[in-house]
Amino acid sequence: MPTPADDCARSVLDAVPLVMREIRAEMRSHRGLDLSVPQFRALAFLRRRPAASLSDLAAHIGTSLPSMSKLVNGLVGRGLVERDTSAADRRRLTLRLTREGTSLLQAARAETQTHLSRSLGRLSPEEQAVVTRALGILSSLFGQEGRT
Amino acid sequence: MPTPADDCARSVLDAVPLVMREIRAEMRSHRGLDLSVPQFRALAFLRRRPAASLSDLAAHIGTSLPSMSKLVNGLVGRGLVERDTSAADRRRLTLRLTREGTSLLQAARAETQTHLSRSLGRLSPEEQAVVTRALGILSSLFGQEGRT
DNA sequence: TATTGTTATACTCTATAACTATA
DNA sequence: TATAGTTATAGAGTATAACAATA
């Protein structure tokens, strides 16, 4: 007999990959903005935590240091992030959004959110409220930091 | 001013990547079972739709034919899927889970669901109900087929 | 010695374009 | 001509292991 938590797990397992695919396709589709989900999340984190180190970023995004090193490398290459060695501890990096990074993040977020909003607009207000609440719950449950 | 749909979109954008990461890490972590999320979803689809073609599979998973071709190739190589040309139309493939594929799918699902259940068990029954309902709503909204 | 980050290596996922085989 | 799949190519995300530089 499945417990309520089992049913819940099943619905998470069914729905999350579907929604993720939607988000990914949407983010990829904007010419010029064109960010992967991890890139988007990294930029969002750096906006919240200017001067974060690579380790901070990797920990909060939940990925390995080498992965994050490569990802950041790409963002630096695109001029979206500035990478300096910390004066206090020269092993550490100091990561910051550039002006371009900031504005691209904002534009990408607006586009993606607008698109998602349009889809979610097909739900009733009550359904929207349920979804908002549920995903807030999941964010606190699984999030190292929550708020993007 | 953000509308309720905007708030909803924001919460989706925040939470879904987090949960996805959890699911991915969990699925990858079982030695022997070791499936990626797309592999898992492909196996699940083939259990529901035996004798599906590659195009069916790609459409329902929501990916390109070449991607799915490679993915299936890997599954065939691991002995999880049987790939035959259809007698009726020899351009089409007939895909089926092997016995190993069926049992591995079941084991992987059980493991992942158990792990997720344990996490979700930290929520109140009311919160679990909200999450279950919300993700059902999102499945119907974004799903080509829903049920995994 | 321990910590921070990079490089090397190896997979998977993903897409587009070009191709083959069949209808 | 159109459809089903594969191959070629390329880029991103991911991880582990080995390394360099700094503390």
CA dihedral B14, B137, A21, B32 (to 10 degrees): 100
Min Cα separation B19/chain A (Å): 6
Å from B23 (CA) to C14 (C1')?
19
Q: Which residues of A touch B16 (CB under 8 A)?
A: 16, 19-20, 23, 135
Q: What is the pTM of this model?
A: 0.90
Q: Provide the pLDDT for residue A79.
A: 94
- Summarize the confidence of residues A125-132 as an average pLDDT: 97
How far apart (Å, rounded) are the C-alpha atoms in residues B141 and A18? 10
Has residue A145 got a pLDDT over 50?
Answer: no
CB contact under 8 Å between B131 and A12, yes or no, is: yes
Q: Which residues of B touch A3 (CB under 8 A)?
A: 117, 121
| pLDDT category of residue A26 using cuts at 50, 70 and 90 | confident
Q: Provide the pLDDT for residue B130.
A: 97
User: Which residues in chain B land under pLDDT 50?
Assistant: 145-148
- Out of 3.40.50.2300, 1.10.10.10, 1.10.150.120, 3.50.50.60, the CATH code matching A4-142 is 1.10.10.10
How far apart (Å, rounded) are the C-alpha atoms in residues A147 and B142? 23
- Summarize the confidence of residues A56-61 as an average pLDDT: 94
Strand D, nucleotides covered by protein (CB < 7 Å) = 3-9, 12-18, 21-23
**Which has more confidence, B90 or A144?**
B90
* Radius of gyration, alpha carbons of chain B: 18
Q: Provide the pLDDT for residue B29.
A: 83
Q: Provide the pLDDT for residue A30.
A: 78
**Which has more confidence, A20 or B144?**
A20
Q: Do B60 and B145 form a contact (C-beta atoms < 8 A)?
A: yes
Q: Do B98 and B81 form a contact (C-beta atoms < 8 A)?
A: yes
Residue corresponding to tokens 């449950």: A141
φ and ψ of A83, to 5 deg: -125, 115
A35: CB within 7 A of chain C nucleic strand: no
A47-56 tens-digit pLDDT:
999 999 999 9
Q: Which chain B residue shows the shortest CA-CA distance from A146? A: B14
List the single range of A82-86, A134-138, B13-17 with lowest mean pLDDT.
B13-17
How far apart (Å, rounded) are the C-alpha atoms in residues A59 and A64? 8
Q: Provide the pLDDT for residue B147.
A: 31
| Closest CA relative to residue B137, chosen from A22, A126, A112 | A126
Residue corresponding to tokens 């060695």: A85
Q: How far is CA A121 from CA A24, B32, B102, in A?
A: 19, 43, 39
Domain extents in chain A: 4-142
CB contact under 8 Å between B141 and A120, yes or no, is: yes
Q: Which residues of B touch A123 (CB under 8 A)?
A: 5, 8, 137, 141
Which among A127, A138, A143 is the nearest to B137, CB-wise? A127
| pLDDT category of residue A70 using cuts at 50, 70 and 90 | very high
Q: Do A105 and A67 form a contact (C-beta atoms < 8 A)?
A: no
Decide the pairing of beta strands B93-97 and A93-97.
Answer: unpaired
**DSSP H/E element including A102:** helix A99-120
Q: Which residues of B touch A114 (CB under 8 A)?
A: 9
| pLDDT category of residue A144 using cuts at 50, 70 and 90 | low
Q: Provide the pLDDT for residue B43.
A: 97
| Closest CA relative to residue A142, chosen from B1, B97, B118 | B118
Q: Which residues contact A85 (CB under 8 A, 6 or more apart)?
A: A92, A93, A94
